[in-house]
């Protein structure tokens, strides 16, 4: 992540926090989605020339008064949006995206904090061949494709 990206995120967080305190507004799903995307971008780990790994488990801390407003349908929509973001950035997830929401008294109304689980460096890649819509795992060693 470049210098400008970091500066933009810190300014965005400061301005968002200020407006949330002044307006006393409720937390919106778009804000949660953006916070998860930011956490994903921050924790992106380049593991290979063309592979950027990101965590799949995110913990979202919200004010206790807003916990009941975050329904499974809202979480499902946030997951879909985060998946789109991961695909658009060519991120590789270490598993299916999991969002966990917990209440925290320290979080102000209209704000949220997102953390992610660390990525294990012991990810193993399984090469596959996709043919006619079916995935065939390639075994270790030599695999012949075509006529023998």
Model pLDDT, residue 61? 94
CA distance 118 to 116: 6
Domains of the chain: 3-119 (3.30.2320.60)
CA distance 15 to 19: 6
pLDDT, one tens digit per residue, over 100-144 is 999 999 988 888 899 987 665 555 667 777 888 888 777 776 666
SS3 state at 84: helix
pLDDT, one tens digit per residue, over 10-60 is 676 666 655 555 556 788 889 999 999 999 988 888 776 677 888 889 999
Name which of 58, 60, 75, 65 is nearest 105 in CA terms: 65
């Amino acid at each position: 992540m470049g210098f400008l990206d970091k500066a933009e995120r810190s300014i965005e967080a400061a301005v968002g926090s200020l407006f949330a305190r002044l307006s006393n507004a409720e937390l919106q799903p778009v804000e949660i989605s953006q916070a998860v995307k930011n956490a994903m971008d921050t924790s992106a780990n380049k593991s290979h020339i063309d592979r950027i790994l990101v965590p799949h488990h995110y913990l979202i801390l919200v004010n206790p008064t807003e916990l009941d407003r975050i329904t499974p349908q809202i979480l499902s929509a946030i997951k879909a949006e985060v998946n789109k973001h991961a695909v658009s950035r060519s991120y590789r997830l270490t598993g299916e995206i999991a969002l966990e929401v917990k209440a925290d008294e320290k979080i102000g109304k209209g704000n949220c904090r997102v953390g992610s689980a660390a990525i294990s460096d012991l990810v193993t890649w399984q090469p596959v061949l996709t043919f006619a819509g079916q995935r065939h795992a390639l075994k270790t060693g030599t695999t012949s494709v075509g006529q023998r």
